[in-house]
Structure 1
Amino acid sequence: MKLISHLSSIALLAAVKFALAQNETFLAGLLSTLNETGASSLSGLASQLNSSDQGRSLLTALSNGDPYALFAPNDTAFSNAPSSAFTNIDNFIAYHLVTGNFSGVNTSYANTTLGRTFLNDSQLVQLEGNQSQVLAWAFRTDHVTVLNQPMDTIVTNTTSFGNITINVIDHILTFPGTFEQTVASNNDAFGGISSALGNVSAPFFNASTGQTTNTSVFSVVNNGLHGFTLFAPNSTAVAAIASDLASLESNTTLLEIVLKNHLINGTSAYSPELVGTNFTSASGEVFSSSINSTGQYVTSGGQTALIVQPDVLLSNGVVHVIDRVLLNTNEDAGAASSAAASATSAATQSTTETRPIGFAQTASLAAASGATTETASSSTGSTSTGSASTGSTSTGSTSTGSTSTSSTSTTTGSTNTGSTTAGSTTSGSTTTGSTTTSASAGARAFSPYLAQIVSISTTLVGVMMGGIFTVA
């Protein structure tokens, strides 16, 4: 037995040494490619991956031959970044790495492409089923833009190393924050919202302790929810039905039903996943979605709204800003309970993403002109326009990391035309036509609609807390 144990130890040690050597060889090639593309600062960070368990696991995964996309900040991006961004190198690199093959996937904003990253630190990500965080990007104007970033972050060049597509970007990526942090980054629009959320309390059931406590909405939103989707009407939408909302305030039961019909409990449903799939709201009503050349729509109880800002990522869920309040007063408690149970069960089944999130639902969709109209407060389509059939027509799909040509898109106001892929590769060579010296205010990836999300958040989230959320 001792001999067998000794031999097993020798074999294990040999396997570890082989894996380390393989990692070193792979890493050397990757670092060389990064240096050649103007990302030598990232190369310097990546050279340290083999010194930690998390880093070694990352390298082992990357060298297995499966397709990945690396969003590589250039040297200028590093020089402009705060030193605090690099306190945890493994997490930093993990959020810049996306699993899957994105070749041939093209989307023009407001349609987005989303991929699952390697970032799964529980201090930074609290999605359902302990899933890793996602990254969203889209083709805007004449370049691919990474969304949900404080600065316009564009793909300036693309090349490849083996199984990895390397998209060079002009800023480092920041992790999605909590609802509180998202509000704080837009103080001009959200003045006083943090204190307002802190002053609103509601019953909150914690499945871990089996106790229900009166908890501030501020704490629940930031620390309690693990996976949710919120369709948040913008300020224009709320103002349009101010009188209706005033009358609902005297009927708290009905108001709660309406507000819960803006929420999917226990599931982070990103915009490409909405098409072709019906989801159930926290009030038990069906959400359906459709896409046409004017945008993506969501419908509940015969009420249809345009999604004007999709996929606002949070550490524990996702928000889609819509241009209309969904005044659905119907409720099905049984369906809501069943949907919540199904979401909990589905969250425990881990899968490895090998392509864009929602790809199966949107891959076959094609817009008539490849154009997408982004309208902040338009009511176009709010009746039923573009929503008669779920998952029928589409506006293209996004892309980085595929065969490329220079952009042919133009932007007039808020209408994006064309969906030619920018910043892609041909077997290890860099492409042209994707470098942009500066981004215009009209192409900001983070605003303007994010600044409208919290227009009714205090009331919306406060009412929704009562008895419908749990912490696993």
Structure 2
Amino acid sequence: MFSIHSKLSPLVAFFALTVLFSACTKDEPAMPTIAAIAVTNEDFSTLEAAAVLGGVAVVLSNPNAGDPSGDFTVFAPTNAAFDRLGLTSGDALAALNPGFLTSTLLYHVSNGNLAGANLTDGSTSTSALGPDRRIITRGSDLFINGSKILATDVDAQNGTVHVIDKVLLATGVDIAQSTIALTQSAVFDAPELTFLLEAVVYADLVGALSASPGGPSFTVFAPTDAAFRQLGVDLGVELNVPADIRKLDQATVTAVLLNHVVNNGGLFTSELDAGMITPLGGSSLELGAYNNGVLTVKGQSNGSQVANMLIPDVQTTNGVVHVIDRVLLP
């Protein structure tokens, strides 16, 4: 493990990257560093901006002092991967909580040189952030968590780069605390799960969704604020602010929330298939076909209206959260 000075001046980081870019235009060094690969490849321009803002650009331009090999392995999201999260510009990245951005970048990094040949189904890779990532085979494709590995073994002077199609996300805390972190802007500056947090507290489910040693690991479908507001429209009840959740019967809210939690070990989209799954509430959910890294999901009382995954594959310490755009009705 290595340390990051998260408050490193972006100006200093940008200067370091500029020097690297200049060096790469000359004969020496013949092989670019990981940071220089991001600078010189247009497909990684958003990753470059994120590395500067997150304070990791300088670290990835040097040998890894925390590993005997001196190498890093980086799973590098393309620009299209960031686009999926609406992070299409430096301004969008700058709006993120700086600590969360740095943690997210570290979740893409490993100590040592992890070759593509060693990315085998069922294996794990420990991130520089701490949490492990799972290697999953789906058909002929290889995934790390829910992100497809598009290319492997891009050699760098200080390690190896593997290219992925989705940004890897991890909160570092359990499901309950992840919801609180989102609401209190400890993760994103513009959280969208304030209604969900209110509902979890109102239904007294904080304890059930908190991690405990040897406890269960869940797949959770987390509706956004907009999804709860739409639920109010559907029910004829004004849900304008989170506290309005308490206008609903507590038992009803509890039943609805349990319809979003599946005790199946916590699965990424790469591990989910079309068909029926049973949440804690007992009323089956229907998953749609796997398509471009996401699946739709529908509750029994949702009629023909399916929920789409807005932010899939968020790893927590006791499961995986998929943020969706509709409340799943039992």
Q: Structure 2-normalised TM-score?
A: 0.46
Q: Which protein, 1 or 2, shows the higher relative CO under an 8 Å CA cutoff with sep ≥ 6?
A: 1
Structure with bigger gyration radius:
1
Q: Structure 1-normalised TM-score?
A: 0.35
